[in-house]
Amino acid sequence: MQGGRQLARNLKMASQRTAQKRLPSWFRTKLPSGAQQAVFNDTMDAVKDNQLHTVCQEAKCPNIHDCWSSGDATFMIAGKECTRGCRFCAVGTRKTPPPLDVDEPSHLADAVGSMNLRHAVITVVNRDDLEDSAADHYKQCLAAVAERCPEVSLELLCSDLAGDLDDLAHLLEDSPLLVFAHNVECVPRLDPIVRDPRASFGQSLSILREAKRLRPDILTKSSLMVGVGETDDEILEAMQLLRGVGVDLLTIGQYLAPSKNHLAVDRFPEPELYDIWAQKAIEMGFSGVASGPLVRSSYKAGLLTRKTLDENNTEEMPGAYVLVQPKPMNQHALMPSHGEVEQ
């Protein structure tokens, strides 16, 4: 514990760094043009017209142009402000956010229906101000999308629901989900520095373990950031802990400070190291892994899922090392068959 306190004093916010780390060359991205720009604009219009929020915008994701120009977007529900204040996250923080929008499930379903998607990712803000942490609202949103767009596979990037396993059980009961995701974010030692005090690696593991127990037919997924003070060995140890609770899918990506008021970047691992982590993940038994500097949990999430469930899938994820192995679960029938939009 004493070591953790010392590290907390040593790790600085981005504004405290006397010399900011320059982004390496592999972080260059291309802006959309022509037909891709038109799709980007259509995606933006669909989000605005349905009064929705996206984690792509709120979290300042570096992949927004790549995803949106392909017609992909990750929707953020339950408001645009979170009750927690993690030091890495760009989403706004508020102790008591506005009440939930009762029309959000229908707006979300309309937006997904208008965007011609194969795989929709729905992420959430923490709502510790609500008795059930908004679990029922999440459930209603998923049900509305599934009813409106039964051909679209669904992925939920969920909060830890304050560790309440009964709320988790309610959320997952009869859920149309294909993927249940919850991110541990960082290695256990860095929880007190990186995450809100109400979050912990252990609590996140509990949610992931119970989700797999309740619904073994659903793929479980988590994500790790690098560049917040961890060591390479700690990354491998965290991966082992995740696999130990049955997590199927893993993403590993580089942390980037959203502003000078957020945790400063500690390091930029070379792309080759992400390849090594991907190979190690498969050796540990993960069914699929996407590992690369620009990888985010929701970035082209449908691609990772499809490749995991179909060993003959040849899609590629730009700037990432994607590895999969055949999965024993018979879930191929769950995959949508139409191919309107590449993710």
- Given a cut of 80, whether residue 247 has pLDDT beyond it is yes
At 302 the pLDDT is 85
At 97 the pLDDT is 92
Asked if 314 contacts 331 with a C-beta cutoff of 8 angstroms, the reply is no
Average pLDDT of the residues in 228-249: 98
Please give the structure tokens belonging to residue 204. Answer: 């996140």
Q: What is the pTM of this model?
A: 0.82
Please give the structure tokens belonging to residue 94. Answer: 């508020």
Residue holding tokens 């989700």? 211
Of the candidates 103, 138, 107, the residue with the CA atom closest to the CA atom of residue 123: 138
At 328 the pLDDT is 54
Average pLDDT of the residues in 218-228: 97
Residue 88, amino acid: F
At 42 the pLDDT is 56
Asked if 43 contacts 71 with a C-beta cutoff of 8 angstroms, the reply is yes
Q: How far apart are CA 185 and CA 217, in angstroms?
A: 24
Residue 179, amino acid: V
Average pLDDT of the residues in 93-101: 92
Of the candidates 31, 32, 58, 44, the residue with the CA atom closest to the CA atom of residue 114: 44
Please give the structure tokens belonging to residue 239. Answer: 């991966």
Asked if 223 contacts 289 with a C-beta cutoff of 8 angstroms, the reply is no
- Over its C-alpha atoms, the chain yields an Rg (Å, rounded) of 19
Q: How far apart are CA 129 and CA 25, in angstroms?
A: 42
Please give the structure tokens belonging to residue 215. Answer: 């619904």
Average pLDDT of the residues in 303-311: 89
Q: How far apart are CA 195 and CA 86, in angstroms?
A: 4
For the chain, where are the alpha helices, taking DSSP H only? Answer: 2-10, 35-49, 55-58, 64-68, 104-114, 135-148, 165-172, 191-194, 201-214, 232-244, 271-284, 301-309
Return contacts of 79-83, CB within 8 angstroms, 24+ apart.
79/53, 79/125, 79/127, 80/53, 80/125, 81/125, 82/125, 82/126, 83/125, 83/126, 83/127, 83/128, 83/129
Q: How far apart are CA 146 and CA 144, in angstroms?
A: 6
For residue 288, the surrounding DSSP H or E stretch is: strand 288-291
For the stretch 7-66, pLDDT in tens is 544 556 555 544 456 666 655 555 444 554 454 555 556 555 554 555 444 445 555 555
At 33 the pLDDT is 46
Q: How far apart are CA 332 and CA 318, in angstroms?
A: 24
Pairing of strands 74-77, 53-54: antiparallel
At 44 the pLDDT is 56
For the stretch 111-130, pLDDT in tens is 888 877 888 899 999 999 99
How many other C-beta atoms lie within 10 A of the C-beta of residue 85?
16
Q: Return the minimum-mean-pLDDT range out of 140-144, 154-158, 201-205, 307-311.
A: 307-311
